[in-house]
Structure 1
Amino acid sequence: MTEHVLKCRTAVGDFAEAHIDSDGDVRLETNSADRSTYIYARPEEFAAFARAVLADAEVTLEGTDSDVKIGDEVVVTVYRTHDTEYVNRKGTVTHIDSDDIPYRVEFVGGGAQWVQGVRKVARPSASPFSAHVDEAKRLLADTTYNGYDVVTLARELADRS
């Protein structure tokens, strides 16, 4: 049986667990103040529910753990079962193991930690104008220049292309 845990961010001790049993059915269990409630669903129904929630929250998934390689920029999605201490921290994958805590992430701003789940961060694509900025900097390299000079020359280069 597989188990996934989601901790409540406002009530200490409250959490939800999703269990996938040997038949593949999903049982969602919510726990609050010594009270449990169970919801049973087929995996397809649970997936549709999860997709709808993510869409309404305007959250997109940008890849899966299997896409992650050493050197990738990531966001931690799962630190440990029942612990969200490092969730949503950004960093770079420095090691990958084959155990249940496979990713070592070196965090932006310092520190590193082994974590259970990560999501790749999509790098913004360079704009076409950035090539003109780079060329302007190259052309101005032997002069004393400021940002205004770079942008002015980059615009001139863009107009000529």
Structure 2
Amino acid sequence: MLEMKLTITAPDLSAAINNLAQTMSARVPGLQNGTSTCAEATNTTSVGADAVPAANPIQVTGVPTSAVPVAPAPTSVPVEQTAPVPTAAPAYTLEMIATAGTALIDAGKMKLLTDLIARYGISSITELDPSQYGAFATELRTLGAQI
């Protein structure tokens, strides 16, 4: 075990602390003109398992703790998260196209839907080739369907 003892003697420290307290009381509004006293500035500190607290702690009265400036906590800059950009066309199913077509019929756009089906050369959407689902869905969207 290593034991280390450190003794610091600072005879002018109490006068410096008293001067600091007087200066602060003159500059800080609302600070009482209390007296600042300082015990003899000789401290003995042991480092190790048998650490002993300071023999003569310094005591200053009349100085509010709010008078000590505190640096603000660092703020972090939020990183903007961007949504990934889709690189592939969405995959449509026959059920999705049928649901969108039904919504158009309910909205009174039956004639527009039958014209669209005729342009693809089919008599019903069940005959639509799966490779054409994307283009057909786009045209349904231009007619007002939610797909």
TM-score (norm 1): 0.17
With a CA cutoff of 8 Å and minimum separation of 6, indicate the structure with the bigger relative contact order.
2
More strand by share: 1
Higher helix fraction (1 or 2):
2
